[in-house]
Amino acid sequence: MNAKQTSPQSKIAVVTGAGSGIGRAVAVELLRAGWSVALAGRRPETLEETATLVPEGVSLAVRTDVSQPGDVTGLFAATIERFGRVDLLFNNAGTFGPGGVPVEELPYEAWRHVVDTNLNGAFLCAQAAYRQMKEQDPQGGRIINNGSISAHTPRPHSVAYTATKHALTGLTKSLSLDGRPYRIAVGQIDIGNAATDMTQRMQTGALQADGEVRPEPVMDVADVARTVRHMAELPLEANVQFATVLATTMPYVGRG
């Protein structure tokens, strides 16, 4: 765990999966905008790397496996001890699971790992954030769930990932409804082909619904980060319920 001095005026965010990819880009965007950010992830060294990208930023690195209830409890306890409140949870940590495996060959252990990370982990973090946002003064805050284009339309051989991302949409809707009395705004960002390590293979060839393998365009992950920041900085009286940000010419509209 590593902490830097906070400003009493800054808002407080928790970003899961902050050690790489979309989580890192969002954490950096928020830090540069003056937020104080709790960086959560399984590898402390990558969290520290994220923090060093904004040397003047105020951050707290907490090793967290979101699929473990004790880790999630520890993450939010450390955040509250350090910063006193939570204004934003970016529920981002996730895994695609083994790629290219037909449904009949997918091991149960692989299915369970994806569900535990993408769905159960998102629930545990949202529950902890919800409890804190309900109790703190002033009351309220915002939760943004990282969905996916796959929350709408699957890729071939992605049954575990797609099932969890569809379920995440239901989680978003339920949390949004239940949060209304407590000024807890909940939305979801569905992302398509942001340029990260996870999507690197798409530029050389991705399996399409017709069985062909073709390269796909990607977009700068910084554009995702700016969208999340826009959602995060709205007043709690306004909410982006669902946002879709994707590489303009990727095969999504009309996929299949």
Instruction: Identify the CA nearest to 131 among candidates 69, 214, 192.
Output: 69
Q: DSSP H helical segments within the chain, as ranges?
A: 21-32, 44-52, 69-83, 108-114, 121-135, 159-179, 221-232
| Contact by Cβ (8 Å): 156, 208 | yes
Whole-angstrom distance, CA of residue 49 vs CA of residue 21: 12
Query: CA 129 → CA 14, 52, 69, 139, 144, distances in Å?
Result: 9, 26, 13, 12, 11
| Encoded amino acid at 204, one letter | T
C-alpha torsion 104→193→199→29, nearest 10? -130
The catalytic residue positions are 161
Query: CA 109 → CA 26, 40, 104, 144, 246, distances in Å?
Result: 30, 24, 13, 28, 31
Whole-angstrom distance, CA of residue 86 vs CA of residue 183: 13
Those residues whose C-beta lies under 8 Å from the C-beta of residue 72, and which sit 6 or more positions away, are 64, 66, 121, 124, 125, 128
Residue 5 structure tokens = 């001095």
